[in-house]
Structures are given as C-alpha cells and as structure tokens.
Amino acid sequence: MLSKVITISQQKGGTGKTTLAVHLAMAFIKYHNLKVAIIDTDPQGSLGKWFMIRSERKVSNENLTFKTASLWGAQYESKTLKNDHDIVIIDTPPKIESDARPSIEAADLVLIPMAASHVDFWATGAIVEIAKKANKKILAQINRSSQRSKLIDKTKDFIKSLDLQSTDTIIGNRQIYTSSMGEGKTAVEKQRKGNAVDEIKKLSGQILNQLN
C-alpha cells in the first residue's frame, strides 16, 4: 500500500476540484493498478451525486471507495482509509479558509487547480498560505486552459511568484470531462484514447512521482 493522501483545495468554486478528484482516482486505478478512496467534504455533494449515478448504473469498481465527511472528519477518515488504500483523495468545498486546516494537515500533497485566469489567481493566495504553514508539498494544476493561451505564461509566472511548483500537464477545456461525469463516469472510462485520456494519464504519473 502506498497510503498517500492528496487534498484538492482552492477557495474559488468551479476550478475543477471535483473533476480532477474523480479523473485522477480512475486514472490511478486504471493505469497504475492502485486502490483508491475519495472523500467528499463538500456539503453540495457533487462528488456524491456522481458516485450515486455510478452505483445506480452499476459502473462499479472494486478498487474505488467513496466516503463523505466534514472537513474535520476527513482527517480521521483519511487516516483510516490509508490503511487499506494506496491513495486517498480529499475533495473540498470552496470558501474553506478557516476550516481548511484539518484537510490540509491530512495531506501528503495539496493539489491546487486554477484556470489561466486572473480571477483564479486572486483566489489562490489563502490556501497556499495555509498549506505552506503546514509544511505540505504543494502542486498547482492549470485546468481548463489551452496550451496555446497567451495567459499560460502569465499563469506560470504567477505560480512562480507564489514560490510554487506546478505539474507539467495542462488540462484542456474539454467537454468529455463534463459529459462523462454526468453519466457517473470519467473521460478515461468513456474513451480509450484522445487528448483527455493522454493528459489525465500523464498527470496521474507525474503526481505519483511526486508522492514517491
């Protein structure tokens, strides 16, 4: 068992926390043969909804465990799940500044998704500070952006200005991420190849390298 915890956090909503949580989970299972647990700490429960549709449609996977918890509960829950899972992914709600600590403290790696957008830059400082104070390994993840966007360089500069590392993968703006989740699935289950599959596969490998 690897027994590592990844917390996906960012106080701005809609940056792709939940999308990345499920796609990374399925990529770890599918391409790296790992056992994965995901914990939904967002009262909105979009991850839970995804899992429910998944269960109803019997898209089961014996290597995937789903739990819900409060942000505080996630610390205890992840400790327990670590015993019999390689990776535990904690998906967090937006606006968590004051309550973020337990879910950050539980993490071996904090993943911070952001678009190549100034609005996302402005929202990122608080969570970075909390994760740094907790001495955590932090990775910024550029999501929903085109490789060719003029803002990519600005985003990389911004990440550097926070003294952060980012993954080498830019996740594109692709409908398959959204449509697959509506069916309780992920892009890596809907497609055998393609841009989404390539980038998620690559990202999952890079993150595992960082955890080792």
Instruction: Answer yes or no whether residue 165 interacts with ligand ADP by CB under 6 A.
Output: no
Interface residue with ligand ADP among 7, 11, 19, 68 (CB under 6 A) is: 19
* Total residues at interface with ligand ADP (CB under 6 A): 15
Instruction: Give CA angle at 209 (167, 184), nearest 5°.
Output: 70
Instruction: Answer yes or no whether residue 17 interacts with Mg ion by CB under 5 A.
Output: yes
Instruction: Answer yes or no whether residue 41 interacts with ligand ADP by CB under 6 A.
Output: no
Residue closer to ligand ADP by CB (options 66, 177) is 177
Q: Binding pattern to ligand ADP, positions 105-144, x when CB under 6 A?
A: --------------------------------------xx
Separation CA 99–CA 162 (nearest Å): 22
Output b/e per residue, 172-188; b: 16+ Cβ within 10 A. Answer: beeebbeebbeebbbbb
Instruction: Answer yes or no whether residue 45 interacts with ligand ADP by CB under 6 A.
Output: no
Q: Write phi, then psi, for 5 (nearest 5 degrees).
A: -115, 130
Q: What share of the chain is helix, strand, coil (3-state, %, to 5)?
A: 50, 15, 35
Instruction: Answer yes or no whether residue 16 interacts with ligand ADP by CB under 6 A.
Output: yes
171: how many CB neighbours lie within 10 A of its CB?
24
Give the interface with ligand ADP as residue ranges (CB under 6 A). 13-19, 46, 143-144, 171, 173-174, 177-178
Give the interface with Mg ion as residue ranges (CB under 5 A). 17-18
